[in-house]
Structure 1
């Protein structure tokens, strides 16, 4: 290894050591659909809560059955752990009055942080009657919610242009959003360029990188196509031949995510949002290297 490379690695590791205690993390979970999945979820929450995350969020699909499950999980997390629990809320499948009712129910249950999203348009569905910026405005008009919204460093799959997508994010921020959390990505440059473009257009709220530690590579490749996320060639090479070797896949996934958070940490990023897929091991290990300890 050349002396320059060795110095680069040393600088990265040193910077991470110096970040100790100066980093915020949050974790995303999804509602379980079986008893086994529920056990896995609670094991993960109990493991990760020791790291004192800034908040944990819970996703849901665009139908009220899942929304009720999300609501239940959120209340349980708050009651059982005392963590700040933030439900995802979409406006695609609910009227304004229903959304106001849901918001007030959350607020009265002590749930004061919401991740506000438009939601997926059902196949053959009409143009939405509301967008995420409208939902942010509605939430802020009901109570002083802490509101997170989504951002897309590599452009939302439905956006006409990158500029249109950026203006949509600006509208959400202008409506009162407190931070944006990005879609997961693997090309660090795309996040850094996006952050610069956000700053240039006057977005001064935090743009938190969404980090996905990858354990199932085949699923990731399929999912990335749907989300318009670029999976670099070097990742294909790294995961090659690991289809029947979950241990190696986990180690590779943790290694990639650790490198990402080190570089982003050096670029001044202080908040990280981990897509846990309801498993704690990889996210916990990565946080440990960031200096986040119980």
Structure 2
């Protein structure tokens, strides 16, 4: 089939709506990061920026229809594709903070900071593969096969690492249920809330990646790629859901209880927190 940049007329209303949603959410996340000094959220904000710019590209394509150009196509194809990798990096880093908060390092052969580094490294590999594949598709639009294959490889890497991440998270919860530490008992409500948030966000990104794999397996002229409803329902909506989850359960609370910040976000308010002190004797008795 002859290569075309777009097999449908992009919905201007849908694109404008998601530019507004991602843009406002990103601005709010930036404010929350600055106010609470939760600096590791910068990757999350980058992901939000990429989502916003990607859907601006979709707006430009809608305005251009039916005379599409490569520029807007490249914006939406590349940025919307790679943005979730930045969201995922934040999720991986938050898991390491939950492990540190609960003092649950013992069941892991790898130290929490290295565990986080391994997940983030996998995320970087996935990002680079997807970005290079998208670049090839833009540079050689008449022969997109090579780019599609590289993107598929990057998506599979993302799925594999996310699978390990979900398993690791589940093992952490199982370990704390069977052999709770003093800190995990004292802060049970806190770490469980954030762990469940990671589960939800992880599942949303995992499902999105599965859909994108199916899309690229079908090819650039497949059913999913030629019907825009799928990118809005199974990509835009799911990723916006991830951003909303981190508004409601902001990681600044973990940073505060780890002694890395003075304030955290709770119910839309910035609250001064404290670092709970658990002495060694109390820890020993509780265990």
Q: Higher relative contact order by CA 8 Å / sep ≥ 6: 1 or 2?
A: 1
TM score, norm. by length of structure 2? 0.26
Larger radius of gyration: 2
TM score, norm. by length of structure 1? 0.25
Structure ranking higher in strand proportion: 1
